[in-house]
Amino acid sequence: MVRVDGGGSGSSLVQVRGLDKKYQRGSEEIHVLQGLNLDVDAGDFVAFMGPSGSGKTTLLNLMGGLDLPTAGTIRVAGDEITHLSARKLTEWRARHVGFVFQMYNLIPVLTAFQNVELPLLLTKLSKAERRRHVEVALEVVGLKDRMDHFPRQLSGGQEQRVGIARAIVADPTFLLCDEPTGDLDRKSADEIMDLIDRLVREHGKTVLLVTHDPVAADRAHVVLHLDKGVLVEGQTEGDRAGARS
Amino acid sequence: MKYSALLISNLFRKKIRTVLTIGSFAVALFLFGLLAVVHGAFNQGVEVAGADRLVVINKVSIIQPLPISYKERLLRIPGVKAVTHANWFGGVYQDERNFFAQMAVDDETFRPMFPEFMIPNDQWQAYMSDREGAIVGADLAKRFKWKLGDRIPIKGTIFQGTWEFNIRAIYQGERVQDDTTQFWFHYKYLEERENPYWKGLIGWYTVKVANPDDSVRVARQIDETFSNSPWETKTDTEKAFAASFAKQAGNIGFLITSIGAVVFFTLLLVTGNTMAIAVRERVRDLAVLKAVGFSDLFVLVLVLAESLLIALIGGALGLGFAKLLTLNGDPTHGMLPFFYLSPQAVVTGFAVALGVGVVAGLLPAITAMKLNVVDALRRV
């Protein structure tokens, strides 16, 4: 159940309350997010849409512990992350967050296997255990046979699938996807969205997706709109199905 | 080393740049190695000098002789334990480029004075029973492929005529830095053959003192004993004597330090610039590492480790080549008989290389550590 009125139960996986984010650009103060509330349950698939500069990526960065809010709180799986030190926040990210970026952001000098293995280097898993986990992740995204390829030897869609494998390999609490199809053609974008959809439905992953693409957003359980730093109650799958019929 | 792939793969990101940077380290360390070898060659005498030995030369110059009669008077000075003497022969073997030190030595006193030169007893006996006998260092014998029994003609320059010697003994050094390129023969042979002017004259004395702490006093007393005589003396510890001898070729230490400092400063700029560029090019990758959960400290160490790895590989190559060069011995035909890269010089070279690696990598590493993930990901 996704709510934006701040009235969610304490059992939500992600609980955002009164979130404010301001930036200073020269003498100008930019109020990106204004008193934002959000509740997301485990297994939810939420898409955030909105015009450029509306604060979508900022919201994602805050929920992923990459940035700190000006005011408000974010609680994820019981952890209040807005007051963690930089070191604790880094550790928290390693345990709880899987990032999928628009530009894939694979490390070009590492193979697909090594890229996917990166988050596991921070764990105490043995080499053999890491190998097993990486193979499973690459199998899930359908690229086990390409594990020794370097990013330059893969297509954009394949690179993004490796990026998704990297995001899920350590079994994080949730996935944060920032325009994961923004740099792909329609066919590849659909394949990526199929994959994300499968991660939610078959593997029970919680996914928060930022996108400009309505087709991609249509896969989500709930689509929320951000406008001028404020979250607007979105449409559920049912609403959208009703609207289409 | 589960992070080794991450560390090593970055070196292959720009192969040519990595090779060139490693190459600059290699060249610098090769140069350092050679300078250390030259410095060692000039200071070898200082390093191996006996703490309990003094050298007595003519006060005017080392090329002026001293009377052999001083030997008994030296022995009477309190604190003097033993005395020996030697003459510089300065002959030419086949070609002037085949330089090596030849000395006429006092048979009875020379061997116990320099126990670091090891001569097998049977060879010593063979030498003693042959008036034309000679003792040569192992490296010298190796250089000219001499063996026991060989007859060696040497053309005199100070002492006229061609002198024939029979090699009766080959000595080894106790330590690796002991000079095994010398040629010794009987002083009596020299005295017998030379013209009357040289009779009763020697080149210099070496004096063993009973207590090394007493060296300064004994040296002063020796010079006082012979003051106001026709053959005044100048006495120094063997170490000071060797050092002043080395200084005749100029202040090698200063020269080497100056060249080394300039080379390493240039290397610092080159490597620092390379690492800074490498970090700038990898802002996105470093941001991703941080986003995934790698700490700021890890990123700092990663960049520093890359810089250190480059320094280590380049340093190993440079010092390795320098060592290889010294394995063939002295390339200067005897001018630098002690042509050897010591383990201490290798350790110092590595330490300097790693130091440059740390300093060059530090600023880029701090930049990487302070990288803001959100800004870095937005920048690309």
Which pLDDT value is given to residue B333? 63
Last residue of a domain, one of B185, B202, B231: B231
Are B85 and B180 part of one and the same domain? yes
CB spacing of A127 vs B2 below 8 angstroms: yes
Please check whether residues B28 and B167 belong to one and the same domain.
Answer: no
Tokens representing residue B12 in the block: 């292959």
- B202 shares its domain with B114: yes
| Residue B55 is assigned to a structural domain of this protein | no
Percent of chain B with pLDDT over 90: 55
Per-residue pLDDT tens for B235-267? 988 888 777 766 666 677 777 788 888 888 888
Residues B288 and B171 in one domain: no
Torsion of CA B170, B171, B176, B179, to 10 degrees: -90
**Whether residues B87 and B122 fall in one domain:** yes
Q: Same domain, yes or no, for B194 and B103?
A: yes
- Report the range out of B246-250, B278-282, B309-313 with the highest average pLDDT: B309-313
CA dist B162 → A196, B150, B155, B165, B191 (Å): 97, 16, 4, 10, 15
Q: Are B104 and B165 in contact (CB under 8 A)?
A: no
Structural domain includes residue B154: yes
pLDDT given for residue B297 in this prediction = 94
pLDDT of residue B257: 80
Residue B131 lies in a domain: yes
What residues of chain A lie within 8 A of the CB of B373, using their CB? 66
B104 and B225 both lie in a single domain: yes
Annotation: CATH topology of A41-62+85-244? Rossmann fold (3.40.50)
- Contact pairs from chain A to chain B, CB under 8 Å: 66
pLDDT, tens digit, 9 for 90 and up, residues B95-105: 888 889 999 99
Instruction: Using a CB–CB cutoff of 8 Å, tell me whether B374 touches chain A.
Output: yes
Interface touch A110/B373, C-beta < 8 Å: no
Q: H or E segment at B347?
A: helix B343-370
- Mean pLDDT in residue range B133-140: 94
What pLDDT sits at residue B175? 83
DSSP A131: H
Whether B51 has a pLDDT exceeding 90, the answer reads no
A110 touches chain B (CB under 8 A): yes
Span B274-286, average pLDDT: 88
Question: Would you tell me the crossing angle of helices B15-48 and B238-247 to the nearest 10 degrees?
Answer: 130
Distance of CA B359 to the CA centre of its chain: 29
Residues B166 and B272 in one domain: no
Do B127 and B257 lie in one domain? The reply is: no
**B35, pLDDT greater than 90:** no
Whether A125 contacts chain B with CB within 8 A: no
User: Quick one: residue B89, left, alpha or beta (phi over 0 = left, psi -120 to 50 = alpha)?
Assistant: alpha
Place of tokens 């930019």: A30
Q: Specify the 3-state DSSP secondary structure of A136.
A: helix
Task: Give the pLDDT confidence score for residue B66 in this predicted structure.
Answer: 94
pLDDT attached to residue A120: 95
Cα–Cα distance measured from residue A166 to residue A211, given in angstroms and rounded to the nearest whole number: 20
Domain housing B328: 4-45+250-379
| pLDDT of residue B188 exceeding 80 | yes
User: Taking CA atoms, what residue in B is nearest to A59?
Assistant: B374
Q: How far is B266 from chain A (nearest CA, A)?
A: 29
CB B274 within 8 A of CB B303: no
Neighbouring C-beta atoms of residue A160, cutoff 10 Å? 30
B208 CB-near residues (< 8 Å, 6+ apart): B50, B52, B53, B54, B80, B81, B82, B83, B113
Q: Tell me the pLDDT band of B26, cut-offs 50, 70 and 90.
A: very high
* B225 domain-assigned: yes
The residue ranges of chain A whose pLDDT is under 70 are: 234, 238, 240-245
DSSP H helical ranges for B282-295 = 283-292
d(CA A67, CA B42): 62
Domain count for chain B? 2
Q: What pTM, to 2 d.p., does this model score?
A: 0.73
Judge if B293 and B218 occupy the same domain: no
Amino acid at B18: T
Region of residue B67 (phi > 0: left; psi between -120 and 50: alpha; otherwise: beta): beta
Residue among A53, A50, A60 at smallest CA distance from A25: A53
Give me the residue spans of the domains in chain A.
41-62+85-244
Q: What pLDDT, in 10s, does the model give residues B210-242?
A: 988 888 899 999 999 999 998 999 998 888 877
Predicted confidence at residue B202, as pLDDT, reads: 92
CB of A158 closer than 8 Å to CB of A174: no
- Would you call A118 and B292 a contact, using CB atoms and an 8 Å cutoff? yes
Average pLDDT over residues B342-360: 91
B241 within a domain of the structure (yes/no) = no
Q: CA of B285, closest CA in chain A: separation in Å?
A: 6
Q: Is B380 on the interface with A (CB under 8 A)?
A: yes
| Partner residue facing A121 (CB), from B3, B13, B288 | B3
Q: In the sheet where A28-40 sits, what is the strand order?
A: A28-40, A14-25, A71-76, A79-80
Residue B193 has pLDDT above 90, yes or no: no
Q: How confident is the model at residue B337 (pLDDT cuts 50, 70, 90)?
A: low
Within 77-96 of A, beta carbons closer than 8 Å to B belong to 86-87, 90-91, 93-95
Average pLDDT (B198-218) is 90
Which residue of A90, A103, A110 is in closest CB contact with B295? A90
The pLDDT, as a whole number, for residue B46 is: 64
Structure confidence at residue B39 (pLDDT) = 80
Closest by Cα among A73, A48, A78, A72 to A60? A48
Q: Do A90 and B3 touch (CB under 8 A)?
A: no
Position B6 scores a pLDDT of 87
> Which whole number is the average pLDDT over B66-73?
94
Rounded Cα distance between B29 and B264, Å, is 9
Q: Would B236 be classed as within a structural domain?
A: no
- Same structural domain for residues B356 and B277? yes
Nearest to B54 by CA among B214, B182, B171, B247: B214
In the 8-state DSSP scheme, what is residue B129?
A: T
Pairing of strands A45-49, A97-100: unpaired
- Asked if residue B51 is part of any domain, the answer here is no
Of B2, B9, B293, Cβ closest to residue A109? B9
Query: Mind telling me how many Å the CA of A242 is from chain B's nearest CA?
Result: 38
Is the pLDDT assigned to residue B196 strictly greater than 80? no
B77 and B225 in contact (C-beta within 8 Å)? yes
Phi-psi region of A70 (alpha: psi -120 to 50; beta: other; left: phi over 0): alpha
Supply the mean pLDDT for chain A. Answer: 91
Question: B353 and B310 in one domain?
Answer: yes
